[in-house]
Amino acid sequence: MTLTVPLVLTFSASDPTAGAGLQADALTVSALGAHPLTILTGLTAQNTVGVQRFEPCSADWIDAQFNVLLEDGVAPSALKTGVLGSSAAVAAVLKAKALWPHVPLVVDPVRASGRGDAFGGQDLFDRYRNELFPVVDLLTPNWPEAQAFTGAKNIDEAAERLLQMGCKAVLLKGEHLDSGDVVNRLYVAGKQLVEFPCERLPGQYHGSGCTLASACAVGLGQGLSVQEAVELALEYTWQALSYGFAVGQGQLIPDRMHLMQHLGEDEDE
């Protein structure tokens, strides 16, 4: 018997700590039983405190990575983006979506690091809005990102504008909103708002958005509905954060392997 493993193709930049970026995508996808395919979009010199340097990959390097996958007959089950950093990377994602129009695309619209280090200029983010958003199946912005892309004054208005830009669904994350519990809100075109409240954890985490978006991509790639994929991804991500650990002096790293490392703990208590 041949076991078919879902393939999740991710486009993102590197992170030496493996807390965020391409490494975080690969860890999450692997932990959830899928196989990561990776296209490197940029190099970072960053740690858990902040980003010191970012250099986008050249167009020919991005194209070369993409083309060798095509030559090998790769057929992904889902697509996911993190830091793109250049118009060339946006073009590669658009090419992938055109080749596989029925494969779900999850976009984490990263504009800057948690500390505020920018990963692109206005021209790049205009391309997100005008070219990428119209083919997105699930967008996973936090409130600052949603506000920056839309100019909206509240979350419902921001989500509505993002849907009007073409996104089929928007998961607006609530960690930056002033509230007790974190409330994540799923907006799907033509459907009622669904809220997912969860306990606000006390720490600061490096790569939580990468983890959540990658987990959503795995669920969609396995054939779940958007709501089902989001619900499972939020639970997985919250648990990963709750087991977060320090590798340096800054933010904690989510434990993406918690499903294996803490297996059976609840039964033992």
Express each pLDDT in 2-35 by its tens digit: 557 899 999 999 999 999 999 999 999 999 999 9
The structural domain count of the chain equals 1
Structure tokens at 128: 């997100």
User: Cα(first)–Cα(last) distance of the chain, in Å?
Assistant: 38
Q: Say if residue 214's pLDDT is above 50.
A: yes
> What's the Cα-to-Cα distance from 182 to each of 18, 146, 177, 238, 240, rounded to whole Å?
25, 16, 8, 11, 16
Mean pLDDT is lowest, of 62-71, 176-185, 191-200, 217-226, for 176-185
Residue 2 domain flag: no
Give the residue numbers spanning the domain of 144: 7-268
Residue 132 domain flag: yes
Q: What is the DSSP letter of 20?
A: S
Give the model's pLDDT for residue 121.
81
CATH of the domain at 172: 3.40.1190.20
Rounded to whole angstroms, how far apart are CA atoms 77 and 44? 28
CB 216 within 8 A of CB 233: yes
Q: What is the DSSP letter of 135?
A: G
Please give the sequence-ordered ranges of beta strands (E in DSSP) within the chain, or none if there are none: 7-13, 35-46, 51-56, 78-81, 105-107, 138-139, 169-172, 182-188, 194-198
The fraction of the chain above a pLDDT of 90, given in percent, is 81
Give the model's pLDDT for residue 1.
46
Express each pLDDT in 153-174 by its tens digit: 999 999 999 999 999 999 999 8
Give me the residue label for tokens 């340097």: 53
Indicate the burial class of 53 (C-beta count within 10 angstroms; 0-12, 13-18, 19 or more): exposed
Residue 1 domain flag: no
Give the model's pLDDT for residue 173.
93
Rounded to whole angstroms, how far apart are CA atoms 234 and 237? 5
> Regarding beta strands 105-107 and 138-139, do their DSSP bridges make them parallel or antiparallel, or are they unpaired?
parallel
Residues, the chain, total?
269
Residue 64 domain flag: yes
Give the model's pLDDT for residue 193.
96
Mean pLDDT of 179-193: 90
Q: Say if residue 264's pLDDT is above 60.
A: no
Which strands, in side-by-side order, build the sheet including 194-198?
A: 51-56, 35-46, 7-13, 78-81, 105-107, 138-139, 169-172, 182-188, 194-198
Residue 19 domain flag: yes
Indicate the burial class of 230 (C-beta count within 10 angstroms; 0-12, 13-18, 19 or more): buried
Residue 151 domain flag: yes
H or E stretch covering 5: none
Binned at pLDDT 50, 70 and 90, residue 240 comes out as very high
CB 5 within 8 A of CB 75: no
C-alpha 109, offset from chain centre = 8
Question: 84-115: string of b/e by CB count within 10 Å (b at 16+)?
Answer: bbbbbbbbbbbebbeebeebbbbbbbbbebbe
Mean pLDDT of 121-149: 94
CB 219 within 8 A of CB 234: no
pTM score of the predicted model: 0.93
Residue 15 domain flag: yes
Residue 194 domain flag: yes
Give the model's pLDDT for residue 202.
87
Give the model's pLDDT for residue 5.
86
Mean pLDDT of 126-142: 96
Give the model's pLDDT for residue 10.
98
Higher pLDDT, 262 or 212: 212
Mean pLDDT is lowest, of 131-140, 169-178, 251-260, for 169-178
Express each pLDDT in 70-120 by its tens digit: 999 999 999 999 999 999 999 999 999 999 999 999 999 988 666 666 677
Give the model's pLDDT for residue 243.
94
Q: Say if residue 177's pLDDT is above 60.
A: yes
